[in-house]
Chains A and B, each alone.
Chain A
Amino acid sequence: DAKTTQPPSMDCAEGRAANLPCNHSTISGNEYVYWYRQIHSQGPQYIIHGLKNNETNEMASLIITEDRNSSTLILPHATLRDTAVYYCIVRVSPSGGSYIPTFGRGTSLIVHP
């Protein structure tokens, strides 16, 4: 799986958009970009994933650059409950063979009042 690079920490004001970057310049054509988050004392929670196109769901938006070397997770209106560690992971589709899911250290996002 491709390696990802994320800033160790970020902060954001409540109600503003939080933009979390991820660099994955070694991504392969069949690798998806996944985002999970982990709130303190809980297990990671799936947020969103994408291959090439930008994606949006009820939790967030995912913007993937055209060359797929980087992506940005956008929380459009951050709340205090969005304070968590956010993990960006790239991996192949499970149907494409075996792999070892790998989480890095992620980005610790603090949303302040």
Chain B
Amino acid sequence: EAGVAQSPRYKIIEKRQSVAFWCNPISGHATLYWYQQILGQGPKLLIQFQNNGVVDDSQLPKDRFSAERLKGVDSTLKIQPAKLEDSAVYLCASRAAGLTTDTQYFGPGTRLTVL
């Protein structure tokens, strides 16, 4: 079974530039999550999708961050414009539908450096 795929793995941009990350979850997984992990901290949830609908985006800085999952499969997370404090690893995770427990499968992450 293929895991969660993310690209790119690394990205370096200057502040005020835009950047986009892509995630392809495990086939058949209805729930998709985007996390931000700042160095030395645990992952922080940014947004959670159930199929193509948003379940929770309360911790997403909506003035600069946006995410979509148009067909309920892969997803993109965008930052526009980026700030220095956005430097972090952006993790995507997915979970199968119908489970009564919360086993998430994570991708390798995209490491973003904002200069």
The closest CB in chain A to the CB of B59 belongs to A100
Given contacts A43-B93, A87-B42, A104-B42, contact A98 B105 (CB under 8 A): no
Q: How far is the CA of A103 from the CA of B99 in the complex (A)?
A: 20
Contact A105 B42 (CB under 8 A): yes
Which residues of A are found within 8 Å of B100, using beta-carbon distances? 93-95
A side interface size, CB within 8 A = 24
Contact B102 A32 (CB under 8 A): yes
Contact A34 B102 (CB under 8 A): yes
Contact B4 A100 (CB under 8 A): no
Q: How far is the CA of A17 from the CA of B102 in the complex (A)?
A: 27
Q: How far is the CA of A104 from the CA of B91 in the complex (A)?
A: 15
Residues of A within 8 A of B (CB): 32, 34, 36, 41-46, 49, 85, 87, 91, 93-95, 98, 100-106
- What are 10 A-to-B residue pairs whose CB atoms are below 8 Å? A41-B108, A42-B109, A85-B42, A98-B55, A98-B56, A100-B58, A100-B59, A101-B33, A105-B40, A105-B42
Residues of B within 8 A of A (CB): 4, 31, 33, 35, 40-45, 48, 55-56, 58-59, 91, 93, 95, 99-109
8 additional A-B pairs beyond A42-B106, A103-B44, beta carbons within 8 Å, are A32-B102, A41-B108, A43-B108, A44-B91, A44-B106, A46-B105, A95-B100, A103-B43
